[in-house]
Structure 1
């Protein structure tokens, strides 16, 4: 969470060290709110909050994925190749970049729904990558 526009210190929830699924759910909620914003003054406070959560997700991904590197052995020396979950991290970076544009840019008002819609879709796609589906309650009928 080391960005120049870091607002994480403003949110007490971060002191509780929420796990990735909680952070991602907050991001999803914030992009839902962004969809209802109609002007830059409405989007900026939400974008500041979303930026803090996306930075926390980025940090959480880096920590949780440090054990999931693809390693190739050549000449008996391990070389890190890539993340196994590279797409998730890339989607997080895309979300952070779009959020940054919404936060600092002055753009045509007609573009706002498209930018927030794109941010919404990428955020939900990132969330789908990280959230493990919960087991549905299975009903077993015993027939004598």
Structure 2
């Protein structure tokens, strides 16, 4: 092999490696089946709201309460997002009306999960991933992480 033939080959390989390295550093290179970084993590305010909701684990449920130590469902989401720098209205229905409605395929950690029946939203929780939410379920219970128990849910992203 002559030097002339060898140099383009090396440059070609180096160029390909450099492009792959740059793509990986820029976050555009994904393993098959991996979620894009934005889909996995969500916006910073959503991540913070999720962490705030999780930090309230064990806080007692109280109808109409919005923290800092007792919560109802929409009070927990209101409190969590307020700590993350976002304002939400008070009730689950109002929160649903205020969020950007999204599909299950675009759901990210920190998005809100709304439970509905008969055309009205009656419950809300903060999506934690793996089909689970942080929520304040009902009287006599506490803030907890729980699996989503029904398919009658809608999703919203706080803007």
TM-score (norm 2): 0.28
Higher relative contact order (CA 8 A, sep 6+): 1
Higher strand content, 1 or 2 = 2
Counting helix residues as a fraction of each chain, which structure ranks higher?
Answer: 1
For the pair shown, the structure with the greater C-alpha radius of gyration is 2
